[in-house]
Each structure stands twice: as C-alpha cells, then as structure tokens.
Amino acid sequence: MELPQEISKRELALLRSLSTRGGRRHTGFCRCEGVRAVGELLTRAPGAVRFVAGTRRGFDALDFVPEKARSISEERLAELSGTVSCQGIVAVAETPADAEGEVEGPFILALDQLNDPGNFGTIARTFRAVGGRELWYTKGSVDPWGDKAVRSGLGAQFSLRLRRFDDLARLAEQAAASGFGKVFITDPHGGESCFTLPGLFDRSVIVIGGEANGVTGHPRNSVSVTIPMPGNYESLNAAQAATVLLFEHVRRTTTT
C-alpha cells in the first residue's frame, strides 16, 4: 500500500507532549496505541481522531490507511511510544470533556482511587462490553486518558460517559441528586453476597476500591456488598472484582 504524507513537526511535537498528564490536559488530546485499540477508535469514535501516525508495518497490520494518516519512521515512533511494542501505529484523539446532564442508566460504576492504569482500562472495556454508560471516578485515580489506560481499554473510554469527583462523598451526592441514591460498596471483608442482594443494579452506584487500600470511606446510606471467595485467598484484583459485578448484572437481565 502507498504510505501517506509524512508527519509534520507540529504533529510530532503534539504526539510527544501527550506522554504526560499535564500535556494531555493542556492540549485536550490523548494517544491511542496499537492495532486493536486504533481500529476500535476509528470504528467507534472516528470524529475524535486528529491523525493516525504509523509505520509501514503499522498500516500493514491495520490493513488499511485511514483518513488523516501520517507516515512516521520506526525510530521516531520508538522514541515517542509509551509501550515497548506499539505495533507501529498510534492515533492522536481529542479527549472528551467530562460528562454532564442527565445520568444514563441503569447504574453508575464508580472507581475510588483506582491507581493502576491497566485495571482502569480493563474495567472501562468490560463496562462497555456489558452496555454500561456512566463511569465515574475519584481524584487519586489514574488518568483514564494515559497511554496504558487507553491501550488496556481499547479506547472504550471514548464510548463511555466519564466523570471525575474530588472524593467519594461528593460523587455519591451527585448521584443521589440525579436519582441514583443507592450506593453499594464492594468489600472483601463483609456484606451481602453480590449474587443474592436485591436491587443491586436498580438506579444505583457500584463502588470499586483501589488496589492498595480499597474504598476510601462509606458514604451515608451505603451498603456493603461482597463477592464470595471459597479459596480464602487475598482479595481479588480490582478489575476482576468489577468484572464479577458487571456480569452479575448481565446474568440478572438475561436470565429473568
């Protein structure tokens, strides 16, 4: 295939600036690396894409040269990329503003100080897979638009309504004001089983805590929900805990 025009100095500078959270916030853009993530982004949110920089290898793997494509050398890309192997392709996309207005159902998934970017991305991808919409998170969480979070999410972030809050109490207040008054806190140490608790996904907030310290506090009227674990092991990885709860919702809606 014929390679597109070469990346400009200005575009290269933009691409470079997006390696930091400050650069992403300042410019309003983020990077999306790798064949699958770029493919998903081009399918799901084509309007957000500013340009796609790739090497011959990258466009070959993608199997087409998209609009707004730019050629970049392997050396330049290696120097820029956030990952050991970005597979020769990286897109620059506009980061959506925080969601506003009416909250879309059936429930809100809230991440409280979730600081592993791979987990954030995996949760976004899984939430998207079950048809979720509202992914809220608290300050102290990792940037959802960082390289690794976007890569792990395969760009699912672009199809969700993300919203950031200073802390869990404010998040719960906003949810209640929008008619999502029930707050369920996942707790490895107690609470009713997620497999039997009624109303778990009925205009509610499901809170997943961070990897290190769990949930930072229990908002008023919150209820603990636990994932039964017969192995008496360590608590689950945050992304696995989220997956169990999200698919319990799927089970309830597909089998009754």
According to CB under 8 A, which one of 12, 99, 129, 169 is a site residue for a copy of itself? Answer: 129
A 10 A CB-CB count for 105 gives: 15
> At closest approach, how far in Å is the CB of 38 from a copy of itself?
13
The yes or no reply on residue 8 touching a copy of itself (CB under 8 A) is: no
Closest CA to 119 of 246, 240, 244, 20: 240
Nearer of residues 216 and 237 to a copy of itself, judged by Cβ: 237
According to CB under 8 A, which one of 55, 95, 122, 157 is a site residue for a copy of itself? Answer: 122
The yes or no reply on residue 147 touching a copy of itself (CB under 8 A) is: no
d(CA 239, CA 120): 7
Instruction: Retrieve residue 145's tokens.
Output: 């638009």
The yes or no reply on residue 126 touching a copy of itself (CB under 8 A) is: yes
The yes or no reply on residue 156 touching a copy of itself (CB under 8 A) is: yes
> At closest approach, how far in Å is the CB of 244 from a copy of itself?
5
Beta-carbon contacts of 144 under 8 Å, excluding residues fewer than 6 positions away, are: 120, 121, 124, 135, 137, 150, 153, 157, 162
> At closest approach, how far in Å is the CB of 12 from a copy of itself?
26
> At closest approach, how far in Å is the CB of 163 from a copy of itself?
19
According to CB under 8 A, which one of 132, 209, 210, 214 is a site residue for a copy of itself? Answer: 132
A 10 A CB-CB count for 220 gives: 9
Instruction: Retrieve residue 33's tokens.
Output: 């690396």
Length, in residues, of the chain: 256
Instruction: Retrieve residue 87's tokens.
Output: 């597979």
> At closest approach, how far in Å is the CB of 2 from a copy of itself?
28
Part in contact with a copy of itself (CB under 8 A); list of ranges 16-24, 62-70, 162-170, 243-251: 243-251
Is 61 exposed, middle or buried, given 0-12, 13-18 or 19+ CB atoms closer than 10 A? middle
Q: Read off the amino acid at residue 232.
A: N
Part in contact with a copy of itself (CB under 8 A); list of ranges 14-22, 96-104, 177-185, 192-200: 192-200
d(CA 52, CA 33): 10
According to CB under 8 A, which one of 23, 192, 216, 247 is a site residue for a copy of itself? Answer: 247
According to CB under 8 A, which one of 52, 183, 215, 239 is a site residue for a copy of itself? Answer: 239
Nearer of residues 168 and 206 to a copy of itself, judged by Cβ: 206
According to CB under 8 A, which one of 56, 139, 170, 251 is a site residue for a copy of itself? Answer: 251
188, 214 Cβ separation under 8 angstroms: yes
| β-bridge pairing 69-71 and 49-54 | parallel
d(CA 89, CA 18): 15
d(CA 49, CA 94): 6
Interface residues with a copy of itself (CB under 8 A) are 36, 40, 118, 122, 125-126, 128-132, 154, 156, 193, 195-196, 227-234, 236-237, 239-240, 243-244, 247-248, 250-251, 253-255
